Amino acid sequence: MKVPERKEVKPEYCWDLSSLFENEDAWEEGLVQYRELVQKIPSFQGTLSSSVEAVKTCLDFMTELGILEEGLATYAHLRLSEDGGDSANQDRWGRFLQVSTQAEALAGYLKPEIQSIPSDLMEQILEKLPDYRIMLKKILRYKPHTLSPSEERILALQQEANQTAEKAFGALTDVDFDFGVLPTPEGEKPLTHSTFQSFLMNPDRSIREKAYRQYMGLFYQYRNTLSSLYGGSVHLDIYIAKVRNFPSSLQAKLFPDDVPEEVYQTLIQTVHEGLPVLHRYYRLRKKILGLPALRLWDTKVPLVPDIRVRHTFEEAVDRVIASLQPLGEEYCSILQKGLLGGWVDRYENKGKRSGAFSAGTYTGDPYILMNFKEDHLRDVFTLAHEAGHSMHSYYSARNNPFPHYNYSIVEAETASTFNEQLLMHHFVQTTPSEEFRRYLTVKHIDDIIGTFFRQTMFAEFELQCHTSVEEGRPLTVEALRKLYRNLLETYFGDAVIIEEQDEVEGLRIPHFYRSFYVYKYATGLAAAIALSKKVLEGGMEERDRYLLFLKTGGSLFPLDSLARAGVELRTPQPMRETIRLFDDLLRSLEEYYS
């Protein structure tokens, strides 16, 4: 089927961006206003220690600027996402970046100057300016880790150079790498990052093996270069942590969200407790596939043949809304109206960004990019996932001042995967087909493996690499391969044979260049599973606590926000609940295949 040009897509299938700007001319006027306001940023320098009123004047101005900047950025980004090949979209985004980069440079004095305000005056500011209290407290937390103005300037000048390892990794693996083509019964097909995952789900084992060896072979061939790049990224993390007076790179990365190191360690330790259950699953997979032993290319192929269930976009919305009824009439009516009324850019077109995302703002609608396909059940789950993000943004923006409405990644992943849990429960409860329920069980198991077990393994690898360097052990290619092989053997167990090529899998993960990030996926899913269970099994109190969590935004640190909702990530309990759910799902599968 021909992929349409953007201009060929019906307007009712596209998002309506008028909540941001009525049209392109209005955006251009906003950019002119933004450019003028940016020039006023330096006018507040040196005034913040004079009075409460001076601080309020400055912060009110920066808030006005921030709201305008967010709207301009989101509109330009969404237009670029809908058609990245359109030169006008590219130009619009580039012109915005030029001004926003200048704004960031001009505002560099603000945080150090806020931190230098005398304590007695700061007490008055915190008391009299409640709309800025939390933001100011977060800035003040950084005081022990903020350097002198000249030192901060040196660090700021390093920012572009600091991206060298990540940019080189992307250029090498996304541009220079050519994975070639793969022979299939339907003819030769290109092997790429995206098709690699599809090949691993092919029922023909010879195709899976060929794809895996061909794909991973290129990473193995460049293992020395990739090890050097990742090692450089690790050393940079440790350098910045030391310069900013953090005891370790892990603590430096956890500091912005006020997450204790023990939470990270507890996640790893608790998952290790659950590894025997994961090993049981791989032994069952080996039995179902009828193989003497599994290889990594056997771990993703579906155990139940793909179920062909069609949903039009409108039917998918109906399914999602039906599954979210436990959240009440207000949540569902707002979401349904948004999904059908301009929030969503629905279908693929030439030049459109792949995948899906949600983009919320303080003053505009929380938009969703989709590439919806009627015969892909996973797209219904993706819609529920992105709807969770959008409703989080919707409630947060309407219940917080602008400086406090942005929430953390941990909270974001909780809200999105929470919706997926409710949708899964809805499908299981309403389908009459035993085969479809089994398909859903396997999907649920695979989702937990991918988001909880695998991301924790990645998080453990990151920690071991950083700790190794911090303790004075060089991060050679052989050291990296050994660390990763040990983790593969630990997590996959005796049902899966680990081969030499597998040892370089850790060198292909782009998230590792944003260190200590992936643990948020695992903890977010654990929180979502715990909260969805409370809402499904509870009443209005549990529902209202969850809705309060969505409304909290960034006005609390994530662990405190989640604790108030009813899940305490400072304890192993949520992770153990996830493992128990996995065990229950696995037992139902074991009973069927016994």
With a cut of 70, say whether residue 1 has pLDDT above it. no
With a cut of 90, say whether residue 11 has pLDDT above it. yes
Question: Mean pLDDT across the stretch 133-162?
Answer: 86
Question: Mean pLDDT across the stretch 190-203?
Answer: 88
Strand order in the sheet with 344-345: 344-345, 367-369, 357-359
Residue 539, SS3 per DSSP: coil
> CA angle 508-510-512, nearest 5°?
100
Question: Mean pLDDT across the stretch 304-313?
Answer: 86
Domains and CATH numbers, the chain: 6-156 (1.20.140.70)
Question: Mean pLDDT across the stretch 168-185?
Answer: 91
Q: Decide if 111 contacts 117 (C-beta within 8 A).
A: no
pLDDT by residue (tens digit) across 414-436?
999 999 999 999 999 999 889 99
Question: Mean pLDDT across the stretch 537-543?
Answer: 94
Q: Decide if 192 contacts 211 (C-beta within 8 A).
A: no
Residue 404, token pair as written in the block? 């406090």
User: What pLDDT shows up at residue 96?
Assistant: 95
User: What pLDDT shows up at residue 161?
Assistant: 86
- Which residue is listed with tokens 């009110």? 60
Least reliable range by pLDDT among 126-140, 143-157, 353-367, 548-562: 143-157
User: What pLDDT shows up at residue 89?
Assistant: 94
pLDDT by residue (tens digit) across 205-260?
999 999 999 999 999 999 999 999 999 999 999 999 999 999 999 999 999 999 99
Backbone angles phi, psi at 398, to 5 degrees: -90, 0
pLDDT by residue (tens digit) across 52-100?
999 999 999 999 999 999 999 999 999 999 998 889 999 999 999 999 9
Residue 11, token pair as written in the block? 């307007």
Would you say the C-alpha torsion 520, 522, 523, 527 has a positive or negative sign? positive
Q: pLDDT grade, residue 157 (50/70/90)?
A: confident
With a cut of 90, say whether residue 147 has pLDDT above it. no
Backbone angles phi, psi at 91, to 5 degrees: -65, -45
Question: Mean pLDDT across the stretch 285-291?
Answer: 96
Catalytic residue among 166, 386, 413, 505: 386
Question: Mean pLDDT across the stretch 18-33?
Answer: 98
Question: Mean pLDDT across the stretch 549-561?
Answer: 95
With a cut of 90, say whether residue 309 has pLDDT above it. no
Backbone angles phi, psi at 181, to 5 degrees: -120, 165
With a cut of 90, say whether residue 160 has pLDDT above it. no
User: What pLDDT shows up at residue 358?
Assistant: 97
pTM for the whole structure: 0.92
Instruction: Name the residue with higher pLDDT: 209 or 107.
Output: 209
User: What pLDDT shows up at residue 145?
Assistant: 94
Mean of the per-residue pLDDT values of the chain:
94
User: What pLDDT shows up at residue 409?
Assistant: 92
With a cut of 90, say whether residue 126 has pLDDT above it. yes
Residue 541 known to be catalytic = no
